[in-house]
Structure 1
Amino acid sequence: MTVSASPWPAGVPAWAEITVTELGPTQRFYGGLLGWQLRVGGPETGGYVTATVDGHVVAGLRVAAAPQPAGWCVYLATDDVARCVARAVEASATVVAGPVTVPDMGRAAVLADPTGAVVGLWESGTHTGWELTDAPGAFAWAEQMSNDPVAARRFYTTVFGYEQQDMSAPDFTYTSLSVGGTPAAGIGGYGPGAGDVAAAWTWYVAVEDADAVAPHVAELGGEVVSGPEDTPYGRMLLVRGPSGEVVALLQTTDDDLVA
């Protein structure tokens, strides 16, 4: 477990935010499944909902300004969002939104990387991102998966200067990206037979017991996509929330943690 209110180093996942058309079902789902306490902001925030665990912020929920598919957006920390966007565009990213200043809190931008996966950038102000990681209900890991992991790896390494560790195996392509020697995120390739699956970032939320959580997914309006199943990094459960978004839940021991 890590508790920190300091800005995260550039390139490290710092925040995850879901955008939905209706907050009620999403609040009930994650509050019931992960034990999140949900704090609704005032009119000046557009009713932005901050999820907390033991008083520490762990994620955000907001209503879409216009109809759009629901989904989680993983934000990577940056020291200068404008400079980072310029570097990303030079490396063939497309700007989806921003950079925009969130008064007092920081600056943000959203990109589509060269494989089509959407990713956010966050430059801290008073809001430094999640304050708790590697604890039940909080961030444990994030990874980008696509049918072109070589292009994805090239892009993110160009933008953030990550150190790389190849963890591939037969029919499995995966690279761990590190910052200052500490694993930060992963880049993987969809396996044979995956077909035309869209590239995407997925974040993993830690849970105490994946098998105990699984029966509640449907009760709360979601769907189990796969698992629970054992992996080298813990027992994983992939679920789809009430608005169709996907999130991974990971039961780990201290020896399992990948981040």
Structure 2
Amino acid sequence: MKQTSVTTNAPCWTELGTSDPAAARAFYTELFGWQADDTARPGDEDYTQMLVGGAPAAAITPRYAPQQPIAWTVCIAVADADATAVRIKESGGQIRKDPTDVFDFGRFSVAADPSGAVFILWQGRAFKGAGVFDEPGSLGWVELLTRDPSGALDFYPAVFGWSVAPSEHYPQWGLDGQDFGGLLTMDDRFPPQVGPHWLPYFAVADVDNTVGRAAALGGDVPMPATGVPGGRRIAVLRDPQGAAFGVYTAGAEG
């Protein structure tokens, strides 16, 4: 992610909803060197911010409903959650949870694109989002995996004003000349039960070392470390509870 601070209409945060928050905190603390802060959101002690060098990097929470999948969810900063929710519905998307205040921290809404990929709108107030980007242990890239690439390429620019760097294999999302993510078309390699989703990538100093540590900590490696055009080395991992996430070389252009 070339952005270095929270930018309106760009990814600003990511949250893990999991069946075992304590185990997840232990896994990611060992993997990324995160520090847990259970006091960051008074009144919601189940919500744990994970810090990198004292700066908020991500959050780990329990699942809020039995049907909620164990997964990371990408949050997008918006100036007005209510107005953005209207644009989402007008563009063919869904609002799964109407805009709601979270104390004085901000206002959020759970949304889905027309194919069903879920994301969160975050209208920051006291809390804007991540305090660090593209540094080891922090959010570095976001990727939409979908079986409807043409629909996604219509929907997200209409809602958020994103630019698209065209590519036959991997279009990239951007805003104000800064790319922050990509689109991967799901093909026969993806089982039918795996639905469209957003995947966060965390920057790391050494992808191969991180893959080895994740496996030693009980995680899985759906996609081993590999080099990609643009100087990046990436991998996709799964934590012991089953949540998928990516890692990539911190600071590498792509």
Taking structure 1 as the reference length, the TM-score comes to 0.90
The answer to whether residue 207 in structure 2 is matched with residue 210 in structure 1 is: yes
Q: Quick one: which amino acid aligns to residue 180 of structure 1?
A: D
Would the aligned equivalents of 1:94 and 1:113 in 2 still touch at CA under 8 Å? yes
* 1:182 Cα deviation from its structure 2 partner: 1.3
* 1:20 Cα deviation from its structure 2 partner: 1.3
Hey, what does 2:29 align to over in structure 1?
Answer: 31
Of stretches 146-155 and 66-75 in structure 1, the one that deviates more from structure 2 is 66-75
Instruction: Describe the superposition over 1:115-149 as per-residue Cα deviations: whole angstroms up to 9, x where unpaired.
Output: 11111111110111101011100011101111111
User: Which ranges in structure 2 are unaligned for 5 or more consecutive residues?
Assistant: none
- What SS class does the counterpart of residue 157 from structure 1 fall into? helix
In structure 2, relative to structure 1, the CA distance for the partners of 1:224 and 1:188 (3 Å cut) is closer
- What SS class does the counterpart of residue 9 from structure 2 fall into? coil
In structure 2, relative to structure 1, the CA distance for the partners of 1:53 and 1:183 (3 Å cut) is same
In structure 2, relative to structure 1, the CA distance for the partners of 1:219 and 1:193 (3 Å cut) is closer
Hey, what does 2:64 align to over in structure 1?
Answer: 65
Alignment of 1:188-199 (within 5 A): 188-191=184-187, 194=190, 196=192, 197-199=194-196
* 1:43 Cα deviation from its structure 2 partner: 6.0
Would the aligned equivalents of 2:3 and 2:180 in 1 still touch at CA under 8 Å? no
* 1:66 Cα deviation from its structure 2 partner: 2.7
Instruction: Describe the superposition over 1:67-110 as per-residue Cα deviations: whole angstroms up to 9, x where unpaired.
Output: 23211000111100000001001111111123110111101111
Hey, what does 1:184 align to over in structure 2?
Answer: 180
Hey, what does 2:241 align to over in structure 1?
Answer: 243
Q: Quick one: which amino acid aligns to residue 238 of structure 2?
A: R
Q: CA RMSD in A?
A: 1.8
Hey, what does 1:151 align to over in structure 2?
Answer: 151
Would the aligned equivalents of 2:38 and 2:45 in 1 still touch at CA under 8 Å? no
User: Which ranges in structure 1 are unaligned for 5 or more consecutive residues?
Assistant: none
Hey, what does 2:122 align to over in structure 1?
Answer: 122
**Percent identity over paired residues:** 29
The answer to whether residue 48 in structure 2 is matched with residue 49 in structure 1 is: yes
Structure 2 distance, partners of 1:187, 1:96, is 22
Structure 2 distance, partners of 1:228, 1:122, is 32
Would the aligned equivalents of 1:223 and 1:241 in 2 still touch at CA under 8 Å? yes
Of stretches 16-25 and 64-73 in structure 1, the one that deviates more from structure 2 is 64-73
Structure 1 distance, partners of 2:164, 2:220, is 34
Would the aligned equivalents of 1:140 and 1:206 in 2 still touch at CA under 8 Å? yes
In structure 2, relative to structure 1, the CA distance for the partners of 1:190 and 1:125 (3 Å cut) is same
- What SS class does the counterpart of residue 29 from structure 2 fall into? helix
Structure 1 distance, partners of 2:139, 2:253, is 11
Structure 2 distance, partners of 1:142, 1:33, is 19
In structure 2, relative to structure 1, the CA distance for the partners of 1:71 and 1:195 (3 Å cut) is closer
Alignment of 1:170-181 (within 5 A): 172=169, 174-181=170-177
* 1:191 Cα deviation from its structure 2 partner: 4.0
The answer to whether residue 224 in structure 2 is matched with residue 227 in structure 1 is: yes
- Number of equivalences: 249
Structure 2 distance, partners of 1:51, 1:148, is 33
Would the aligned equivalents of 1:105 and 1:127 in 2 still touch at CA under 8 Å? yes
* 1:25 Cα deviation from its structure 2 partner: 1.0
Would the aligned equivalents of 1:11 and 1:184 in 2 still touch at CA under 8 Å? no
Structure 2 distance, partners of 1:85, 1:129, is 19
- What SS class does the counterpart of residue 134 from structure 1 fall into? coil
Structure 1 distance, partners of 2:242, 2:147, is 22
Q: Quick one: which amino acid aligns to residue 195 of structure 2?
A: A
